[in-house]
C-alpha cells in the first residue's frame, strides 16, 4: 500500500536527475531513465503523435505505508 505525496506533469525532456535516481531502475542515471522510457514509448505508444521530447509525463512521488519500509518518499 502506498500514499501519493506529489504528482507533477513534466515534459519528458525536463524530467530531472533526482526523479531518475529515486525511481531506482538500471544505474539510476538520467541518461538510463531517458533511454529506457523513450524506447518504451516508441514501441508501445497508442497516441498517433508517438514519442516526442516535449510530451507530458506524470511524475509521481509516494511513500510506502505497508509493509513499512524505511527511507521516506519514492518516485515512479
Mean pLDDT on 55-61:
95
Is the model's pLDDT at 34 over the cut of 90?
A: yes
Mean pLDDT on 51-69:
90
Are 53 and 13 within 8 A, CB to CB?
Answer: yes
**Type and span of the H or E element at 22:** helix 17-23
Q: Which CATH superfamily is domain 2-75 in?
A: Sulfate adenylyltransferase (3.10.400.10)
Is the model's pLDDT at 9 over the cut of 90?
A: yes
Which residue ranges make up each domain of the chain?
2-75
Of residues 74 and 35, more confidence is placed in 35
Query: What pTM value is reported for the model?
Result: 0.78
What's residue 66's pLDDT?
Answer: 87
Is the model's pLDDT at 44 over the cut of 70?
A: yes
Amino acid at each position: 500500500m502506498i500514499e501519493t505525496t506529489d504528482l507533477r506533469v513534466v515534459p519528458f525532456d525536463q524530467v530531472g536527475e533526482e526523479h531518475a535516481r529515486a525511481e531506482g531502475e538500471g544505474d539510476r542515471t538520467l541518461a538510463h531513465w531517458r533511454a529506457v522510457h523513450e524506447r518504451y514509448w516508441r514501441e508501445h505508444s497508442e497516441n498517433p503523435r508517438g514519442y516526442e521530447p516535449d510530451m507530458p509525463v506524470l511524475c509521481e512521488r509516494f511513500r510506502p505505508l505497508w509493509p513499512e519500509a524505511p527511507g521516506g518518499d519514492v518516485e515512479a
